Structures are given as structure tokens and as C-alpha cells.
Amino acid sequence: MTNDAGAHDAVEVITAKRDRHELSDSQIDWVVDAYTRGAVADEQMSSLAMAILLNGMTRREIARWTGAMIASGERMDFSSLSRPTADKHSTGGVGDKITLPLAPLVAACGVAVPQLSGRGLGHTGGTLDKLEAIPGWRASLSNAEILDQLDSLGAVICAAGDGLAPADKKLYALRDVTGTVEAIPLIASSIMSKKIAEGTGALVLDVKVGSGAFMKDVDRARELAETMVALGTDAGVRTTALLTDMSTPLGLTAGNAIEVAESVEVLAGGGPADVVELTLALAREMLAGAGVTDADPADKLADGSAMDAWKAMIRAQGGDPDAELPVARESHVVVAPSTGVLTRLDAMAVGLAAWRLGAGRARKEDPVQAGAGVVWHARPGDAVTEGQPLFTLLTDDEHRFERALASLEGGYDVAPAGTEVTPQPLVIDRIG
Ligand code: URA
């Protein structure tokens, strides 16, 4: 059956991948383009996505697939800027607010950061949802506004427009409902098509590993990171990746307004040690990729220049960086069941609790609550005393506490005082 007056048809491409053949360049170009135009049906593309998940793709196929997705839309061009560009992408984790302090910090070091971001789906939060907790802040900017802001301030965090890799938008929504999200060729091409089309000169990938991440084991995370680094490098983007731990959530908060507040603490020179460590590690990767060797990002946190860049960036998008952040109407405290040491805090359990409290959404059209989320008052290795607050749950709807508490159950352990907790390294590996 022919779907389109082109060189191929969908069944031929599906059966080729089903039978473990390598797809040709022309088959890949055709099927991505025909799907974007609606000439290949959703059921055909979902069958092909499942064949790719089961049988994989070679590096050549992945590179071609990525190129075809880039070609489905526009490419941004930052070559008119007077400073080099660098961006960061995280595969998503719980309490992962790093983009918020990172973008102004790197801008304060002289590199422009075009951070085109998304909203959260499921248990991992979205950068735009967090920033929208700031009164007045606007996520949508035109391409001209993005360029202007990068030129004048050096940092922009905004919504990725519909023009970037539209093939990915359609395919990602399909994968979400057909059990085909987890295919490494499809994840790598999805992320990298958007980042290459965005036009950044350098890119650092934060590939999360652990219970709260897409990739639960380090070997698959490394394979994903290597695939993405190769795609970026081949496209002329100086790309590196850090594999970082996501078995424990980052910092002390998961939510929207509460993560903004924690990010501001980091920009003020304080904040939780793990958030500061990862922000500085990623900043150093971005600066190296951009060829800037004479700036120390730790100095920019200490001397207030990263905070100045943050305030300017928030103001430029209509936000008031000094306004009070929204506070949830209801709160519920979970206390330590015994005296001892917190030996485990599971990222997935905390992420699900924050999501159930209203910080995240189940469907992409759902609203999120700015004040909802989870604050934890101890991290693995910390001593705790029976009855002390361990978690504070925040929401506008009291009825949400029950299901949030259920997701926290079994998500942490308190062992007798003196129990050794071996600290897990936050940065597990570097690729590139
Ligand atoms: N993020 C993306 O943008 N795409 C994927 O496929 C997975 C995570």
C-alpha cells in the first residue's frame, strides 16, 4: 500500500526495521517527512517506533533520523551575537532546578545561554513551570526577543517555539502513549534534534541515572550519553555529558515556587551543597565548550554578579525577582519515626509525592500549583531525632495529602545512630 506519492511506503519501512535491516538514508528522510505531513498514519509510525525500540538503530541511522527531524522545522542562528553560546540539557530528575541558577551564572561569565525549555510531565518538574511561579514572568518569546535578550543580558530561559523540530513534537506525543519512549535511538534523536536546531555552539548534557531518572542503570545512561555526544559533535556542536546521580533527589525541595527559592539561595552564595556542586560542574563544562577559560563560576556566585544576571533575566521577561513567591494554602509535616541516621531518600518516591500534591501534571493541558511540593529536612547521612520534621508536604488541596503520603511510604529509611552511610558521588562519569 502506498501512502504518499514518494519513493517509499510506510509498510516497506516498517517491515525492513521489523526484520532487523538497516534503513537507508532515503527511507529515513521519507518516513520522517511523510509522518510530519500526515501522509504516514499514527498507527504506522507507532509500529515503526516499536520496531526501532526492539531492534535498535546504527549510529548512521540515528544521525540521519536526527537530521530529518531537524529538517522538519526552522533552525535558529546566533552567529550575530558578540559572545559564544552554550546550553545545558538535563534528561530530567526530581528537585532538578539547576537550569535556574546555571543560566545566569554562565551569562555572568561572558557566555550567552539560549535555554529553550519545556514543561514538566509526570514526576519530573519542568523549568518553565518553576519560573512561572514568579509573579509576572512570561515563558513565550518571539525569536527576535530571544536574540535581543541574549545580546543585551546573555541569558534567556523560555519556551521552545513550535517551529523547532515539529517532527519530534508529533513523534514524542505518539511515543508517550505507545510504550516507545524508552528507545535510546529515539530519545537521543529527540533531544539532539531540538538542541542542534536551537543553534547553540556548545552543549553539556546532564544524563541522570537512578530511581528518579529515565535511565535506571548506569550502562544504559552511558549508552544514551555517548549516542548524544556523537550526534552533537558530528553536527558541529561542542558536546560533552555528565552522568549524574538521581537515586536521591537534588537539594531539599521539589516543586515550583520552593525550587525557585532554593535556586535564589544558590545565587546568593548559599544553598544545598549538592545543588551548588552540580551547578558549578555544569557551568565549567559549558564555559570550556564555549572556549572561556578565564572565568571561575564560583567567584560569580560569591561576588553577586550571577544574582544580578538572574534579576535582569527575570525582569526582562516581565517577572518581579523581588516579589513574594506563592505559598501553598495547606501543609502537612511527616516526622522521623525514630532517632538515628537517614540512610536512604528515594528520588522517585519524592517526585511522585510532589506530583500528587499538584506540583506536576498528568496531562499536558493540566494546570500546576505554584506553591505545591515537598520539602525534606534531612539528606542521606544526616542524623535525625524521633519526632523531628522529616518532610513538609505543601498543596492548595487538603485531599491530596493521602496519596502523597502513600507515595512517600517506603521511600526512606532511618537506621540506628552510628550506621555508616557511604556517600554516593553526584557526578558519576564524564563523556566527551
Ligand atoms: N526528552 C525529550 O525531549 N525527548 C525524549 O525522547 C525523552 C526526553
- How does pLDDT run across 317-366, given as a tens digit for each residue? 999 999 999 999 999 999 999 999 999 999 999 999 999 999 998 777 78
Q: What is the mean pLDDT of residues 228-245?
A: 98
86-160+192-316 is a CATH 3.30.70.270 domain: no
Instruction: Kindly report the average pLDDT of the chain as a whole number.
Output: 95
State the catalytic residues. Answer: 89, 168, 175, 190, 194
CATH topology of domain 330-415: Aldehyde Oxidoreductase; domain 3 (3.90.1170)
CA–CA separation, 355 vs 61, rounded Å?
Answer: 36
Q: Is the CB of 65 under 6 A from ligand 1?
A: no
1: pLDDT strictly greater than 70: no
CA–CA separation, 201 vs 237, rounded Å?
Answer: 5
Predicted local confidence at residue 2, as pLDDT: 44
CA–CA separation, 280 vs 277, rounded Å?
Answer: 5
For residues 240 and 201, is the Cβ–Cβ distance under 8 A?
no
Name which of 48-62, 92-106, 171-185 the model is least confident about: 171-185
For residues 221 and 405, is the Cβ–Cβ distance under 8 A?
no
For residues 334 and 390, is the Cβ–Cβ distance under 8 A?
yes
Q: Is the CB of 191 under 6 A from ligand 1?
A: yes
CA–CA separation, 359 vs 130, rounded Å?
Answer: 9
Kindly list the domain boundaries of the chain, sorted by start residue: 86-160+192-316, 330-415
For residues 369 and 129, is the Cβ–Cβ distance under 8 A?
no
Burial-class residue 257 by CB neighbours within 10 Å (0-12, 13-18, 19+).
Answer: buried
Q: Is the CB of 264 under 6 A from ligand 1?
A: no
Predicted local confidence at residue 176, as pLDDT: 83
The reported pTM is: 0.95
Name the phi and psi angles at 116, rounded to 5. Answer: -90, 115
Predicted local confidence at residue 125, as pLDDT: 77
274-319 pLDDT tens trace: 999 999 999 999 999 999 999 999 999 999 999 999 999 999 999 9
Q: What is the mean pLDDT of residues 195-220?
A: 96
Predicted local confidence at residue 119, as pLDDT: 77
Strands 202-209 and 86-90: parallel
To test the pocket of ligand 1, the residue of 66, 91, 205 to mutate (highest count of ligand atoms within 8 Å of its CB) is 91
Q: Is the CB of 172 under 6 A from ligand 1?
A: yes
Residue type, position 344, single letter? R
**CA pseudo-torsion sign 83, 228, 88, 114:** positive
Q: Is the CB of 171 under 6 A from ligand 1?
A: no
Question: For ligand 1, atom 6, which residue shows the shortest CA distance?
Answer: 187
Predicted local confidence at residue 3, as pLDDT: 46
Name the phi and psi angles at 324, rounded to 5. Answer: -65, 140
CA–CA separation, 258 vs 134, rounded Å?
Answer: 11
Question: For ligand 1, atom 5, which residue shows the shortest CA distance?
Answer: 187
Domains 86-160+192-316 and 330-415 share a fold: no
